[in-house]
């Protein structure tokens, strides 16, 4: 029996008005010129399994690659937050012990009171995960402070099954390939140090993101998403 290859892909629904409304809002956001008073901040997060080496690896030589034992000890997980401004070419990685609403709110508060303390409003592009909400601020801070933080943010959520529209997800993918993949980290502290070094180096050499996919491209290439309106 012949086995055929399977290619996994994000298959959008045939027609979904809510999907295209959110998608076009995100695409319009990426077309706007840089505005220091209203910066666009994309954010995403992912869990990473922590592992400890059971046996000391054998360093690489000219004759063989570095040898790592296939056995390891599980050390829990960590949650990696990626924050990035597409147009300024800035990104920052933050590592927490786990994914919670409170940790997300604390990380956002840190940015809003430091990097963005003098801007009018931050346009935040993120998914609809239940930790990325206005209510998260009220779980982390007194109501008065929570309200002041919420007023600094304008959310622009990516549609369900549309995470590819979030530039922070692309940054996370790049960081994973260049910094995390094929390595074992036994603690959040070590992971934090390595991802910080990656983001610092990337900020020194990388310019802004040139997002090419626009609303007109979506209407031409993703026709199945749009309803056919009978006149």
pLDDT tens readout for residues 156-203:
999 988 889 999 999 999 999 999 888 888 899 999 999 999 999 999
CB atoms within 10 A of CB 125: 24
Query: Quick one: pLDDT at residue 68?
Result: 67
The owner of tokens 């000391």 is: 56
Residue that wins the pLDDT comparison between 7 and 99: 99
Distance of alpha carbon 176 from alpha carbon 45, whole angstroms? 12
Helix, strand, coil distribution of the chain in percent, nearest 5: 40, 20, 40
Q: Is the pLDDT of residue 225 over 80?
A: yes
Query: Quick one: pLDDT at residue 100?
Result: 86
Query: Quick one: pLDDT at residue 76?
Result: 86
pLDDT tens readout for residues 67-115:
666 666 777 889 999 999 999 999 999 999 888 899 999 999 999 999 9
Q: What is the pTM of this model?
A: 0.84
Residue 187: which of 50, 15, 37, 39 has the closest Cα?
50
Lowest mean pLDDT among 51-65, 127-141, 161-175: 51-65
Structure tokens at 177: 């390939």
> Per-residue confidence at 15, pLDDT binned at 50, 70, 90?
confident
Q: Is the pLDDT of residue 2 over 60?
A: no
Query: Quick one: pLDDT at residue 229?
Result: 78
Query: Quick one: pLDDT at residue 141?
Result: 97
The answer to whether the CB of 101 falls within 8 A of the CB of 135 is yes
> Per-residue confidence at 62, pLDDT binned at 50, 70, 90?
confident
Would you put residue 24 in left (φ > 0), alpha (ψ -120 to 50) or beta?
alpha
Once rounded to an integer, what is the mean pLDDT over residues 138-160? 96
The answer to whether the CB of 19 falls within 8 A of the CB of 12 is yes
Q: Is the pLDDT of residue 4 over 90?
A: no
Q: Is the pLDDT of residue 58 over 90?
A: no
Residue that wins the pLDDT comparison between 210 and 135: 135
Query: Quick one: pLDDT at residue 190?
Result: 92
SS3 148: helix
Query: Quick one: pLDDT at residue 209?
Result: 87
């Amino acid at each position: 029996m012949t086995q055929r290859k399977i290619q996994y892909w994000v298959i959008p629904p045939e027609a979904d008005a809510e999907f295209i409304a959110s998608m076009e809002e995100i695409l319009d956001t990426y077309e706007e010129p840089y505005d220091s008073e209203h910066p666009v901040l994309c954010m995403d997060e992912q869990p990473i399994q922590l592992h400890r080496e059971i046996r000391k690896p054998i360093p690489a030589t000219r004759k063989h690659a570095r040898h790592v034992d296939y056995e390891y000890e599980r050390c829990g997980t960590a949650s990696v937050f990626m924050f990035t401004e597409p147009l300024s070419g800035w990104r920052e990685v933050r590592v927490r012990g786990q994914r919670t609403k409170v940790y997300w709110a604390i990380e956002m508060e840190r940015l809003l009171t430091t990097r963005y303390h003098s801007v009018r409003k931050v346009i935040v592009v993120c998914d609809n995960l239940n930790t990325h909400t206005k209510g998260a601020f009220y779980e982390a801070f007194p109501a008065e402070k929570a309200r002041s933080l919420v007023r600094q943010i304008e959310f622009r959520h990516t549609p369900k099954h549309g995470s590819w529209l979030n530039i922070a997800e692309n940054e996370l993918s790049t960081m994973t390939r260049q910094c995390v993949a094929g390595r074992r980290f036994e603690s959040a502290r070590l992971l934090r140090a390595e991802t910080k070094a990656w983001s610092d180096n990337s900020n020194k050499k990388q310019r802004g993101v040139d997002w090419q996919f626009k609303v007109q491209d979506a209407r031409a290439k993703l026709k199945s998403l749009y309803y056919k309106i009978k006149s």
